[in-house]
Amino acid sequence: MKGMRSWAEIDLAKLERNLRLIRKSIPSHFKYVSVVKADAYGHGILHTASRLMQSGVDLFAVANVKEANEIREMGSGWPILVLGPLLEEEDEALIDLDLIPSLSCLQEVKRFQSLSQTKKRKIKVHLKVDTGMGRMGVWWEKAAELFQAIKSAHGIELKGILTHFAEPANEEFSQMQRDRFQQIIKANLPNPLPSDFIIHADNSSSLKVLQKNSFFNAVRIGLLQFGVTPPIHSALAHLQVEPVLSFHAKLALVKDLPAQTSLSYGRLHTLGRDSRIGIISAGYGDAIPLHCGNQASALIRGTSYPIVGRVTMDQTLIDLTDAPRDLVNGEVVTLIGEQNGNKIPLETLALHGKTIPWELLCSITKRVPRIYLTKRE
- Closest residue to ligand PLP in the complex (CB): 222
The reply to whether 203 sits near ligand PLP by the rule CB under 6 A is yes
Q: What is the DSSP letter of 325?
A: T
Contact 115, 123 (CB under 8 A): yes
Integer Cα distance of 25 and 105 in angstroms: 34
Shortest CB 88 distance to ligand PLP, Å: 21
Integer Cα distance of 358 and 363 in angstroms: 9
The reply to whether 68 sits near ligand PLP by the rule CB under 6 A is no
Q: Cite the beta strand spans of 96-185 per DSSP E.
A: 100-103, 123-130, 138-139, 156-162
Q: Please, which of residues 318-347 interact with ligand PLP by CB under 6 A?
A: none
Contact 342, 304 (CB under 8 A): yes
Contact 63, 38 (CB under 8 A): yes
The reply to whether 177 sits near ligand PLP by the rule CB under 6 A is no
Site string for ligand PLP, 224-243 (x = CB under 6 A): x-------------------
Angle of helix 12-25 versus helix 45-54 axis, rounded to 10: 50
Site string for ligand PLP, 73-92 (x = CB under 6 A): ----------x---------
- Pick the piece of the chain touching ligand PLP (CB under 6 A) from 24-32, 201-209, 240-248, 333-341: 201-209
The reply to whether 220 sits near ligand PLP by the rule CB under 6 A is yes
The reply to whether 223 sits near ligand PLP by the rule CB under 6 A is yes
Shortest CB 137 distance to ligand PLP, Å: 9
Integer Cα distance of 123 and 300 in angstroms: 54
Contact 333, 249 (CB under 8 A): yes
Which member of 52, 149, 218, 221 binds ligand PLP (CB under 6 A)? 221
Give the nearer residue to ligand PLP in terms of CB position, either 274 or 359: 359
Give the nearer residue to ligand PLP in terms of CB position, either 34 or 297: 34
The reply to whether 222 sits near ligand PLP by the rule CB under 6 A is yes
- Pick the piece of the chain touching ligand PLP (CB under 6 A) from 214-222, 252-260, 266-274, 300-308: 214-222
- Asked about 284 being catalytic, the answer comes back as no
- Asked about 255 being catalytic, the answer comes back as no
Shortest CB 222 distance to ligand PLP, Å: 3
What's the sign of the alpha-carbon dihedral 32, 36, 42, 47?
positive
- Given the residues 14, 31, 32, 37, select the one marked as catalytic: 37
| Contacts with 223 (C-beta within 8 Å, 6 or more apart), sequence order | 41, 203, 204, 229, 230, 357, 358, 361
Integer Cα distance of 195 and 113 in angstroms: 24
Query: Any bridge partners for residue 6, and if so which?
Result: 249
Give the nearer residue to ligand PLP in terms of CB position, either 61 or 320: 61
- Given the residues 122, 151, 265, 354, select the one marked as catalytic: 265
Give the max Cα distance, the chain. 78
Which member of 14, 72, 159, 164 binds ligand PLP (CB under 6 A)? 164
Q: What is the DSSP letter of 97?
A: T
The reply to whether 205 sits near ligand PLP by the rule CB under 6 A is yes
Give the nearer residue to ligand PLP in terms of CB position, either 53 or 133: 133
- Pick the piece of the chain touching ligand PLP (CB under 6 A) from 67-75, 149-157, 186-194, 220-228: 220-228
| Contacts with 115 (C-beta within 8 Å, 6 or more apart), sequence order | 91, 94, 95, 123
In this structure, are strands 123-130 and 198-200 parallel, antiparallel, or unpaired? unpaired
Task: Catalogue the active-site residues.
Answer: 37, 265
Q: Which residues bind ligand PLP (CB under 6 A)?
A: 35, 37, 83, 164, 203-205, 220-224
